[in-house]
């Protein structure tokens, strides 16, 4: 029940409907854990389409649970969540909120993730939902909270924003958000977007929102800076899960919301390998761009080569034959 890259990308836009699995995990099917490949799951449904710029928590929860079963090989969702997170850990959920509520991480999706964590025994006091600034969170429709679970921007973090000490990671030298410094585990919840400089902004690029000087690392289309940043122990050592919000995709003129080139797709992209997730996200974006008549990102002079660099650095898998693409539909 796995798909080739082309089939996977086409599936997202509704042309390869036969090659998908239905909603509800089949415990007899082979799981990613068993194949040894990096699994990326595309959950796609009308129920994941935005209404009033949000999706329903219940739909998101059902797809997430099913995806985690397939990713972990556990027979039940609660066990799948428990296999990734322990009650003693503090978990940071990194959002993507720069463009405002039209193109930010959906609130319903975040609520579904919090629900999953709670079933893993992670109490609300150990969950931090965060972005760069309080203003970005509020603009994306999140209500700030200093009580459990906390919803805060780095600018409002205890001890003041970013660490005073410089951290080096390859070509990057930066001060990290005090939030990412302190959490034990990370769930990354980016939005799938075209990016005017780096080609795409998906999972790895979202961690530019965890450092004080992202403006210094957009040169050379972010290559090798994005990959180097994601090598750092605060990211590589803590990232457990990436859940890409592809319910609405900016296919051109990103990373801000530009309605003319935004497509409602009702999809999530879920995986544990950040490189494989970005590679699949890039494939999907290219397919959508092609269908809309845009040149490839390479032709546009902004191929996201940092994904290849990240693979070369051992952060994950970008080879098609080593990525298992699984599509979940309906629900």
Residues found near other proteins in the complex (CB under 8 A)? 98-99, 133, 155, 161-162, 164, 166, 168, 173, 195-197, 212-213, 215-216, 218-219, 253-256, 258
The answer to whether 75 and 67 have CB atoms below 8 angstroms apart is no
Alpha helices in the chain (DSSP H): 5-12, 32-35, 57-72, 77-84, 107-119, 134-139, 178-182, 225-231, 233-236, 274-291, 306-312
| Nearest distance, CB of residue 155 and other proteins, angstroms | 7
Residue 80 or 179 with smaller CB distance to other proteins: 179
| Nearest distance, CB of residue 220 and other proteins, angstroms | 11
Planar angle of CA 301, 305, 308, nearest 5 degrees: 160
| Nearest distance, CB of residue 216 and other proteins, angstroms | 5
Closest CA to 154 of 110, 200, 213: 213
Strand positions, DSSP E, the chain: 2-3, 38-44, 91-94, 127-131, 150-153, 167-169, 172-174, 185-188, 191-195, 199-201, 239-250, 262-264, 267-271, 323-329
Residue 214 or 274 with smaller CB distance to other proteins: 214
Residue 69 or 210 with smaller CB distance to other proteins: 210
Residue 88 or 166 with smaller CB distance to other proteins: 166
- Sorted by sequence, the CB contacts under 8 Å of residue 283 that are 6+ apart come out as 5, 8, 9
| Nearest distance, CB of residue 196 and other proteins, angstroms | 4
| Nearest distance, CB of residue 280 and other proteins, angstroms | 24
How far is it, in rounded angstroms, from Cα 131 to Cα 133?
Answer: 6
Residue 98 or 267 with smaller CB distance to other proteins: 98
The answer to whether 69 and 75 have CB atoms below 8 angstroms apart is yes
How far is it, in rounded angstroms, from Cα 50 to Cα 178?
Answer: 32
Residue 121 or 170 with smaller CB distance to other proteins: 170
| Nearest distance, CB of residue 179 and other proteins, angstroms | 15
Residue 255 or 266 with smaller CB distance to other proteins: 255
| Nearest distance, CB of residue 293 and other proteins, angstroms | 15
């Amino acid at each position: 029940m796995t798909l080739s890259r082309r089939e996977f990308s086409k599936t997202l836009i509704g042309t390869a409907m036969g090659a998908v699995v239905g909603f509800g995990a089949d415990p007899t099917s082979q799981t990613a854990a068993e194949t040894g490949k990096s699994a990326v799951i595309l959950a796609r449904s009308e129920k994941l389409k935005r209404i009033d710029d949000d999706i329903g928590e219940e739909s998101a929860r059902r797809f997430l649970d099913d995806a985690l079963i397939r990713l972990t090989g556990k027979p039940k969702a609660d066990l799948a969540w428990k296999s990734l997170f322990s009650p003693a850990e503090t978990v940071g959920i990194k959002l993507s909120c720069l463009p405002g509520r039209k193109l930010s991480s959906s609130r319903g999706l975040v609520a579904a993730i919090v629900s999953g964590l709670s079933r893993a025994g992670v109490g609300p006091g150990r969950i931090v939902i965060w972005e760069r600034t309080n203003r970005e969170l509020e603009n994306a429709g999140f209500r700030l909270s200093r009580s459990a679970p906390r919803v805060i921007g780095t600018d409002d973090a205890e001890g003041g924003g970013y660490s005073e000490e410089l951290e080096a990671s390859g070509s990057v030298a930066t001060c990290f958000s005090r939030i990412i410094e302190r959490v034990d585990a990370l769930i990354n919840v980016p939005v799938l977007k075209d990016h005017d400089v780096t080609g795409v902004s998906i999972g790895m690029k979202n961690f530019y929102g965890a450092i004080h000087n992202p403006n210094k690392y957009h040169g050379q289309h972010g290559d090798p800076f994005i990959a180097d940043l994601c090598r750092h122990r605060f990211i590589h050592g803590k990232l457990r899960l990436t859940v890409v919000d592809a319910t609405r995709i900016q296919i051109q003129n990103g990373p801000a919301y530009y309605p003319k080139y935004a497509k409602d797709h009702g999809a999530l992209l879920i995986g544990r390998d950040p490189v494989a997730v970005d590679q699949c996200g890039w494939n999907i974006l290219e397919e959508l761009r092609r269908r809309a008549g845009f040149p490839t990102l390479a032709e546009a002079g902004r191929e996201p080569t940092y994904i290849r660099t990240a693979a070369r650095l051992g952060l994950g898998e970008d080879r098609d034959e080593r990525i298992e693409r699984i599509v979940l539909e309906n629900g």
